[in-house]
Structure 1
Amino acid sequence: MTLFLQQLVNGLALGGIYCLAAVGLTLVFGVLGFPNLAHGAIFMLGGYVTYSLLVDGGLPYVVAILCAALILAVIGVVFERLIFHPLRKAPHTHHMIATVGVMFFLIAVVQEIWGTGFLRMDSPFAGRLTVVGAQISWQRIIIIVIAMVVLTALTWFLKKSVHGQAIEAVEQDRTGATLVGINPSVVSMVTFAVSFALVAISAGLVAPIQLLSPAMGESLNLIVFAIIILGGLGSLPGAIIGGFVIAIAEVMASTYISVAAGEAAVFVVLMGVLAVRPTGLFGTVEQR
């Protein structure tokens, strides 16, 4: 029971990381209609920027994460204006090719600035909390708390703010949103900013328990794509629930079977759900 509780908390912490990353990818897909294949590279960049602000800049941990999120949000707007806005009338395959270019560009930038080796960012929240015999690190508790706060703030932003409601309107009906005066160009910029900020926060949270490397975003890319397919393409609730389901399945399989089984569990769960619901947990079939 002690081991189960400890691994359940680890799964919830990992789920918080996956949710933030998956929601950012879901927003871009919902608004612009194409998957951002550079999402893992953006995650990697967020981790390195947080590292520099914390270690080299001397900022407090939470402040470093928030500043990294702001920096990545600005980068997201720049990329949207310079790369994706000119392609707005092109086929989606052109956008996907552009995201591959962004991925290789970001990896090259990180290797040039920080090198190709591994970097370690120590957690400022050292120590563990004992709950019913289970040893739970404070860093994982912080991850869960901050992830819940960010997801709650994001929900408020999408439901109550003008820009958030505009994002949801464009997701539901781009043409209709344009007819009522919503500017899709502005919505695209805001969406990229929010997406980049979310993935930067997720990277900053996980960096103290995972070594930084230029390849750290590769595995996340596969998992996050599995999550948004599991939850239903374009569904924010699906991305959140899918993130926690995938994370807990991965952690439990790694603990009770093997590490290889944990990696396979992600796709076993995905195939199992799609066999029952081909559109994902919250996906809907388009009416033609």
Structure 2
Amino acid sequence: MGLFFQQLLNGLTVGGVYSLVALGLTLVYGILHVPNFAHGAFYMAGAFVGYYLMTALGLNYWLAMAGAAAVGAALAMLAERLVFHPLRNAPELHDMIAAIGVLLFLEAGAQALFGADFQRMPTPYGQVVEVFGLTAPLQRLLIIASAFGLMALLHLFLNHTLLGASIAALAQNREGAALVGIDATRVTLLVFAISGALAAVAAVLYAPINLVYPHMGHLVITKAFVIIILGGMGSFPGAIAGGLIIGMAESFGSFYFSTDYKDLIAFVLLVVILSLRPQGLFAPRGAG
């Protein structure tokens, strides 16, 4: 029972982080309908900013997370203004190539500033606590609570505020949204800011039990794309469900089979699920 609980905890931890990253990717895809490969760079930048604020400036974990979220949001908005906005009428392939260019540019910048070595962020909550008679690392419980708390807040924002309704309207029909007075430029900037902040927060949450390095966004963004395809492109619940499915599959797969196949599991699941349901698990209405 203890081993099962540990794998369940690991799956929720990784799945929560993946879901946060995938949600930001889903929001941007809903507006641009283009896969934003630069999202992995915002994740990496958030981890490095949090690491720097804690180790060099001595800020506490939560202030470092807030600073990382602000920088992630700022980088995402800059990318939208300087890269994606000028290409809004260009073929989608141009946006994809530009996004990869942003990813490579930010990775090179991080390597120039911090070097290519692996860094380890200090663990602010290294204690072990007892839950229902079972022991669990406090940092993992913090990741799970924070990730799902943020998902709940984002759900409330998107479904119960005027700005959230504007985002949904713009995702459904950009021209129609403009006709009813929605400022597409302002809403798009807001979406990129939320997306960048979510990626940065996910990185800072996960960094104390992981490593920080310039290319850390590659695997995460690849899995985030697997997640949003599994869940259904543009689906909010699909991004959460897909993240949890991948997280649980990796955790239990590593335990019962081998850690060597951990990163392969996501792609095997992608093939299996899409062969049974090509539109994804939670495809938006009208899809498939």
Tell me if the contact between 2:46 and 2:69 (Cα under 8 Å) persists in the aligned partners: yes
Deviates more, 1:92-101 or 1:154-163: 154-163
Q: Which secondary structure state, in structure 1, belongs to the residue aligned with residue 135 of structure 2?
A: strand
Q: Which secondary structure state, in structure 2, belongs to the residue aligned with residue 278 of structure 1?
A: coil
Aligned-partner residue type, residue 72 of structure 2: L
CA distance in 1, matches of 2:266, 2:4: 19
CA distance in 2, matches of 1:263, 1:135: 27
Deviates more, 1:267-276 or 1:192-201: 267-276
1:137-176 correspondence runs (5 A): 137-176=137-176
1:35-184 correspondence runs (5 A): 35-131=35-131, 134-184=134-184
Runs of 4+, deviation exceeding 6 Å: none
1:132 offset after TM fit, Å? 5.5
Q: Which residue of 2 aligns with 1:258?
A: 258
CA distance in 2, matches of 1:86, 1:162: 27
CA distance in 2, matches of 1:198, 1:7: 25
1:101 offset after TM fit, Å? 0.8
Any unmatched runs of 5+ in structure 2?
Answer: none
Instruction: Provide the TM-score with structure 2 as the length reference.
Output: 0.96
Q: Which residue of 2 aligns with 1:274?
A: 274
CA distance in 1, matches of 2:55, 2:161: 35
CA distance in 1, matches of 2:150, 2:251: 23
Provide the aligned length of Structure 1 versus Structure 2.
288
1:130-178 deviation per Cα after TM superposition (whole angstroms, max 9, x unaligned): 3456431110000011111111111121112222211111112222211
1:285 offset after TM fit, Å? 6.9
CA distance in 2, matches of 1:22, 1:148: 13
CA distance in 1, matches of 2:72, 2:220: 18
Aligned-partner residue type, residue 88 of structure 2: R
Q: Which secondary structure state, in structure 1, belongs to the residue aligned with residue 24 of structure 2?
A: helix
2:212 is aligned with 1:206: no
1:161-198 deviation per Cα after TM superposition (whole angstroms, max 9, x unaligned): 22221111111222221111112111111111000000
CA distance in 2, matches of 1:287, 1:213: 38
Instruction: Provide the TM-score with structure 1 as the length reference.
Output: 0.96
1:235 offset after TM fit, Å? 0.5
CA distance in 2, matches of 1:213, 1:192: 23
Any unmatched runs of 5+ in structure 1?
Answer: none
Aligned-partner residue type, residue 117 of structure 1: D
Tell me if the contact between 2:234 and 2:284 (Cα under 8 Å) persists in the aligned partners: no
Q: Which secondary structure state, in structure 2, belongs to the residue aligned with residue 90 of structure 1?
A: coil
Aligned-partner residue type, residue 84 of structure 2: F
1:232 offset after TM fit, Å? 0.2
CA distance in 2, matches of 1:193, 1:159: 18
